[in-house]
Amino acid sequence: MKKSILIIALLAISCSGCGGGSGIPANVKLAEGLDPSVETVENECAFFYFTWGRTAELDGKFEEAREAYEKALVCDLHAVHVMRRLALLLVNMEKKKEAASWIKRILEEDPDDSSSSAFLANLYVSMEQADKAEQVYLNILEKNPQDTDNMLLLGALYARQKKYAEAEKLLEQLIKLNPDSFIGHQYLAKVYMVTGKAEKARKAFNKALELNWTTFLAFEVATFLGGNGYESEALNLYREILEEDESNERIRTT
């Protein structure tokens, strides 16, 4: 125990000039159960501030955590783990634009970091910057054409932008790679539906139900079937829903 206290005190002394400002008190209390060695930071000064930042973050002291992470990055400009934690923190603080800038810094260090690329694309989507998100997804798929997770996300983005031809092509490619993708079939069915391809939509919806039958999806499919000339199939599906849930008021009022 004494040895641990001594190490923290020595780190505090060695880091007193890092990052400017007044520095962090040597008796900073670590959050219970925190094991900062899980995310290795080589530079001792950066390690100290990273540990302090994680403790503050776990305690809900976000501004304090942000300051500590930024000081860690003054100590070690290439500490990707710190950049990642800072980006996640900034998202929690609703500072997505700043978070995106740190994710881009990570990608400068490692352009092949697909998880960070996907994170950046999702940030762009949440900031309603669809064009930027689309380009990031395309970059991911260029490097890994069989990345069905990001293929699905890009397909959904295309659909929201009403780029139905692009969405259809991509989602069809996805289910060829992964025929058991329930969400892939469901999204593709909806694209077929809005583009007037009723028979293709019917098949895709039925495949989605085959893979993952839920009352909610079954009702959506039955409503589609009933409105597109498949009345007998719709009635059969409504009966199935009632067998699952006899008290379903949505069916009884349809």
Is there a contact between 118 and 140 (Cβ–Cβ < 8 Å)? Answer: yes
**pLDDT class of 25 with cuts at 50, 70, 90:** very low
Query: What mean pLDDT comes out for the span 114-122?
Result: 95
Query: Residue 238's CB: how many other CB atoms inside 10 A?
Result: 21
DSSP state at residue 100: H
Is there a contact between 217 and 208 (Cβ–Cβ < 8 Å)? Answer: yes
Please tell me the distance from the alpha carbon of residue 114 to that of residue 152, in angstroms, as a whole number.
15
How far out from the chain centre does Cα 115 lie? Answer: 9
85-95: pLDDT as tens digits: 999 999 999 99
Looking at residue 16, its amino acid is S
pTM for the full predicted model = 0.76
Predicted confidence at residue 247, as pLDDT, reads: 55
Please tell me the distance from the alpha carbon of residue 203 to that of residue 189, in angstroms, as a whole number.
8
DSSP state at residue 38: G
Please tell me the distance from the alpha carbon of residue 187 to that of residue 152, in angstroms, as a whole number.
9
* Helix, strand, coil fractions of the chain, as percent rounded to 5: 70, 0, 30
Query: What mean pLDDT comes out for the span 53-67?
Result: 96
Nearest to 169 by CA among 160, 179, 161, 159: 159
Looking at residue 3, its amino acid is K
Please tell me the distance from the alpha carbon of residue 83 to that of residue 240, in angstroms, as a whole number.
51
Q: Is the pLDDT of residue 44 over 90?
A: no
